Amino acid sequence: TFSIGAAHSAERPNVLLIVVDDLRPELACYGESDVHSPNVDRLAARGMRFDRAYCQYPICNPSRTSFLTGLRPETTQVFGNDIYFRTKLPDAITLPQLFRSSGYKTVSLGKIFHAGKLHGADSSGGSDAEHSWTVSKQFTATKLGQQGEGRDLTYPGGNKGWCRWLAAEGTDEDQPDGQMAAEAVRQLELAGDQPLFLAVGFLKPHDPFIAPKKYFDLYPPASIRIPSVPESKGTTAPLAIAKGLDFSKFTDQDRREFKRAYLAGVSFMDAQVGKLLTALDDGDRWQNTMVVFFGDHGYHLGEHHWWNKGTIFEESARVPFIFWSPEARGMGQSTRGIVELIDVYPTLCDLCGIKPPRGLEGESFRPLLVDPKLPGKPAAYTIAVRGQGIGRSVRTQRWRYTEWDGGKQGVELYDQQADPDDYANLAERPEYAATVAELKRLLARGG
């Protein structure tokens, strides 16, 4: 076992950080019994499952920039996928950068920082390799892994390469995520006296929806259930749904195939997580390794007629989040305490005995790991930009309250106990005026 606050880096725990692209809580351990996710379920049974965990921005790059710097999007000013965060924050100390400077070997596999050719990014395509990582690796599908049965879904103006699925030929390792899992296992096996910070960024279930055929076979098309969308009650803000995508042309076949392909990606990812858990089993590594598993933001699978991310409804803001800490008394339980992804940075510093940099905007949730019955934070905050305006949302244990452009372009209030999918906007009802006023003050405090 390790000693928190140990004087010597060799006594510090290893950290396995698993970040999954576009994963909402579409897992059996979150009550989705139709989903085949035995490995993530096993991790949830061992560690702590958080039922009220939220991202700070429902798009990849802004979300990842936030939790990796420990700063809220309004501080980072990273609101899109085309901005390399160091053009805004050249002196930021990232989570892996701090661990690297504290004696850890830091390894990035796949998508941790937002991948892609970002303006001003380093040659590794935005991985921040120079500052944050001892080792940084990306992976590419084989030729065989790009072949198989698939279809472009009905998307106005063409699918632009993303709105498609492929039940691919080949094995797991013909796909980037399979290669990533194999390399992650190798890195765990190589770990010696130097503590390891291993970050594994699985790409699926992110579009395009490509996975080996065997994972599609887990979900017969006739078994796929599409949510019915009730008529919204009350006024929904016109900016609540992002512009630029129109799913009204989707047929029932498109909807079934979209969700089936997303679920195939979830199960494919789950199988790769299983390989990492087996490596922890085989090497008796659980007692000196912390494991953090989460999605970078949520996702809609037909709710509000939306098939993507980018909203600040519950489906897009809420994420699956599982944490294993060897010495925490609350392991094996779940919690409804509120946490935010921005809290990962200070929590890992707290548990590993590393002094955090000044100015972090999250807080350690270590108390929840000891007593899952605690309430956690009073609220979680998520924002999204629409044109020149910003939608700002606050989530408490019961309510979600959202203002667009300071309320000038819409206000939303949802009772999550009675209306978990955010369809009945109560903001304009007189009987909720006091609740609106209270949440407005909470939103103004901004975390």
Question: Among all residues, which ones are annotated catalytic?
Answer: 60, 114
CB 43 within 8 A of CB 322: yes
CB 376 within 8 A of CB 365: yes
Which of 357, 384, 427, 435 lies closest to 98 in space, CA to CA? Answer: 357
Residue 5 has which token pair? 């606050």
Distance from C-alpha of 149 to C-alpha of 221, rounded to nearest angstrom: 14
CB-based burial of residue 107 (10 Å sphere; 0-12 exposed, 13-18 middle, 19+ buried)? buried
Geometric angle at alpha carbon 28, from 59 and 339, rounded to 5°? 45
CB 258 within 8 A of CB 219: no
Distance from C-alpha of 418 to C-alpha of 381, rounded to nearest angstrom: 21
CB 145 within 8 A of CB 213: no
Distance from C-alpha of 342 to C-alpha of 70, rounded to nearest angstrom: 5
CA neighbours closer than 13 Å in the CB half-sphere of residue 207: 19
SS3 percent helix, strand, coil of the chain, rounded to 5, is: 35, 20, 45
- Alpha carbon 334 to chain centroid, angstroms: 18
Distance from C-alpha of 351 to C-alpha of 365, rounded to nearest angstrom: 10
Residue 209: beta bridge partners?
165
> 3-class DSSP state for residue 182?
helix
Residue 63 has which token pair? 């979300």
Distance from C-alpha of 48 to C-alpha of 21, rounded to nearest angstrom: 21
Distance from C-alpha of 359 to C-alpha of 338, rounded to nearest angstrom: 21
Euclidean distance between the first and the last CA atom of the chain, given in angstroms as a whole number: 35
Write the DSSP string, 126-163: S--HHHH-SEEE-----SGGG-EEEEE---TT--TTTS
